[in-house]
Chain A
Amino acid sequence: DVKVTQSSRYLVKRTGEKVFLECVQDMDHENMFWYRQDPGLGLRLIYFSYDVKMKEKGDIPEGYSVSREKKERFSLILESASTNQTSMYLCASSTVGGTSGRPGEQFFGPGTRLTVL
């Protein structure tokens, strides 16, 4: 059974704190992603990584950084948390697709609901 796990389901932090969100996958996937999901805005890509130590900015990288030191682990870092970063954060990993008409399938974790006070 494929699995993406996230370190916390709920997290409450104070403005200005450094926040680490951890994600681990056990499927040996090369690709990993961090999204945030907000009512009325949907899922938005923050950062992604296609290999260890590689990272690429998504659509909304401002205020975030990432780290991928091991293939199975992808961390999202909020250097100085702000109230506008209160959101649901979803991690995903994906197979490599694009052949024979089959896309890479993204597998999502259960999400971390972060509240910044």
Chain B
Amino acid sequence: QKEVEQDPGPLSVPEGAIVSLNCTYSNSAFQYFMWYRQYSRKGPELLMYTYSSGNKEDGRFTAQVDKSSKYISLFIRDSQPSDSATYLCAMSDSGGGADGLTFGKGTHLIIQP
């Protein structure tokens, strides 16, 4: 069963706050975990990915995966108004890209100046 749960928000926080975005999933076969960012009237763009469990950091962004809990998170430090967007988690079992991804519904994030 392919199912990914993600709170749609909106999530509104003041500039400079730490943001936590989360997804839960039920398919234990997922090994690749991605976060896409989608600005208004644009297609999604890959922000970060992790393979299996663990953490990955890229500038102000940190992705965490806890496979035992089937829970993934994206943290944004020192949030900026330009981070306002919809964030979609996405998952795959093979990672090969040939069979598509299973997406969460996306969380709409608003960073207030």
Annotate A63-74 by CB proximity to B: 1 below 8 A, 0 otherwise.
000000000000
Q: Is B97 an interface residue (CB 8 A)?
A: yes
Tell whether A102 pairs with B96 under 8 Å between CB atoms, given A42-B106, A108-B44.
no
- The size bracket of the interface on B is 20 to 34
- Inter-chain contact B96/A97, CB cutoff 8 Å: yes
Q: How many A-B residue pairs have CB under 8 A?
A: 84
Question: Once the chains bind, are B95 and A103 in contact (CB under 8 Å)?
Answer: yes
A residues within 8 Å of B by Cβ? 4, 30-31, 33, 40-45, 48, 50, 56, 58-59, 90, 92, 94-98, 101-106, 108-111
Provided the pairs A101-B52, A103-B32, A103-B97 are in contact, do residues A108 and B43 lie with their beta carbons within 8 angstroms? yes
B88 interface hit (Cβ, 8 Å) = yes
Decide: A97 and B43 in contact? CB cutoff 8 A: no
Q: Which of A4, A56, A96, A101 has the most CB of B within 10 A?
A: A101
Partner of B49, one of A40, A50, A59, A103: A103
Q: A41-B105, A42-B104, A43-B88 known; A105 and B42 CB under 8 Å? A: no
